[in-house]
């Protein structure tokens, strides 16, 4: 039973990340690969708050989005002049800087050894030690993030983001300050991603820089493309499938020495077939 709760927690964490990525990339059309960096910032805030400052993880759940929002605002303002591929490269640069800092600022981040012994959340007199108890917090945060994303996508702000994705020059004609909208979307997306980082660090009780690399960002891309660009339910479905598919392949019974490789190959094939027969993703209406 613990295994099922474990998978549900991981799905919830990636569900949050996919929703945040969908807001920035799906709804607004900003190609960003910095998702893993903001996820990592959240995780490191939790790690530092817990181990160096001795604070409760619930405080990190409030502080991490704020700290990440400030970083994302500074970053987004500096990147405002970039578009499309250039924006993507700039966010890749930021992810590389984040990884370098995480690896080398040993006194703060623990360097390559990471941060161990991060505490589990303690709330209402209960410490969420087991997956069975932790799942409630993970699902609660996922629900909050899903509600935020739902209301954004239904609001006039969300419609402006969609219009930016389609033709930002046309939107300027009607008096919209497009750069402000893009910055807001980028900042909100980053803040939401950091929540997933706090949950992840607190659940695993250990983090290191290898957990927040470009591979994680590519996985988030895959999730929202598979689920369908610019749909919240698509982001959630993508997260669910891309966590469940590799997990379910564990039970096929490949010989131990090749099981890891075979799982990766089958996983890759499933993705290729899905893209061949459903290029807009499961719930999507638009191509990337």
Partner 1 sequence: MKKNSLLELKNVYAGYYEMNIIHDISLFIDEGEIVALMGPNGAGKSTILKAIFGLIKHSGDLLYEGDKIHPSPHELPKMGISLVPQGRRIFNSLTVEENIEIGGFSLNDENECKRRMEHLFKLFPTLEEKRSEFAGNLSGGQQQLVSIARGLMMQPRLLLLDEPTLGLSPKIVKEIFKTIKEINETQKMAIIVVEHNLHSLLPITDRAYVLSHGKIVATGSGEEIKNSDILERVFMGKI
Contact footprint for partner 1 (CB under 8 A): 156, 159-160, 162-163, 165-167, 169-177, 230, 285-286
Nearest residue (CB) to partner 1, 84 versus 166: 166
Smallest gap from residue 39 Cβ to partner 1 (A): 28
Are 273 and 48 contacting, i.e. CB atoms less than 8 angstroms apart?
no
Nearest residue (CB) to partner 1, 141 versus 230: 230
Nearest residue (CB) to partner 1, 168 versus 208: 168
List, in order, residues 6 or more apart from 105 with CB less than 8 Å away: 111
Are 183 and 76 contacting, i.e. CB atoms less than 8 angstroms apart?
yes
Smallest gap from residue 183 Cβ to partner 1 (A): 16
As a whole number of angstroms, the distance between CA 151 and CA 251 comes to 39
Nearest residue (CB) to partner 1, 165 versus 182: 165
Tokens (6 digits) for 219: 């996985």
For residue 126, what is the enclosing H or E element? strand 126-127
Based on the number of CB atoms within 10 Å of its own CB, is 162 exposed (0-12), middle (13-18) or buried (19 or more)? middle
Smallest gap from residue 163 Cβ to partner 1 (A): 5
Buried b / exposed e over 135-159, threshold 16 CB at 10 Å, is: bebbeebbeebbebbeebbeeeebe
Smallest gap from residue 284 Cβ to partner 1 (A): 11
Smallest gap from residue 228 Cβ to partner 1 (A): 12
Distances (CA, A) of 59 to 17, 47, 195, 265: 20, 12, 11, 41
Tokens (6 digits) for 138: 């993970």
Are 59 and 49 contacting, i.e. CB atoms less than 8 angstroms apart?
yes
Tokens (6 digits) for 167: 């033709």
Nearest residue (CB) to partner 1, 141 versus 161: 161
Smallest gap from residue 171 Cβ to partner 1 (A): 7
CB atoms within 10 A of CB 165: 19
Nearest residue (CB) to partner 1, 67 versus 178: 178
Nearest residue (CB) to partner 1, 79 versus 181: 181
Smallest gap from residue 177 Cβ to partner 1 (A): 6
């Amino acid at each position: 039973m613990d295994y099922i709760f474990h998978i549900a927690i991981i799905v919830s964490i990636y569900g949050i990340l996919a929703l945040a990525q969908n807001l920035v990339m799906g709804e607004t059309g900003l190609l960003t690969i910095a998702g893993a960096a903001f996820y990592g910032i959240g995780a490191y805030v939790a790690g530092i708050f817990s181990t160096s400052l001795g604070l409760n993880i619930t405080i990190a759940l409030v502080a991490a989005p704020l700290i990440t929002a400030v970083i994302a605002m500074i970053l987004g303002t500096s990147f405002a002049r970039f578009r499309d591929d250039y924006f993507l490269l700039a966010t890749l640069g930021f992810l590389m800087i984040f990884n370098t800092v995480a690896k080398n600022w040993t006194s703060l981040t623990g360097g390559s050894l990471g941060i161990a012994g991060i505490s589990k959340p303690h709330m209402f007199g209960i410490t969420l030690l087991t997956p069975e108890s932790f799942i409630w917090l993970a699902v609660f945060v996922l629900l909050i993030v899903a509600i935020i994303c739902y209301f954004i996508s239904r609001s006039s702000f969300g419609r402006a983001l969609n219009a930016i994705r389609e033709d930002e020059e046309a939107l300027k004609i009607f008096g919209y300050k497009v750069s402000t909208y893009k910055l807001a979307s980028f900042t909100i997306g980053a803040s939401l991603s950091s929540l997933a980082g706090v949950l992840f660090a607190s659940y695993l009780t250990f983090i290191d820089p290898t957990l927040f690399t470009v591979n994680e960002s590519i996985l988030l891309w895959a999730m929202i493309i598979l689920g369908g660009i610019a749909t919240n339910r698509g982001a959630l479905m993508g997260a669910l499938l891309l966590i469940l598919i590799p997990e379910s392949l564990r039970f096929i019974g490949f010989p131990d020495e090749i099981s890891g490789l075979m799982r990766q190959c089958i996983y890759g094939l499933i993705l290729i077939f899905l893209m061949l027969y459903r290029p807009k993703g499961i719930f999507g209406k638009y191509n990337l």
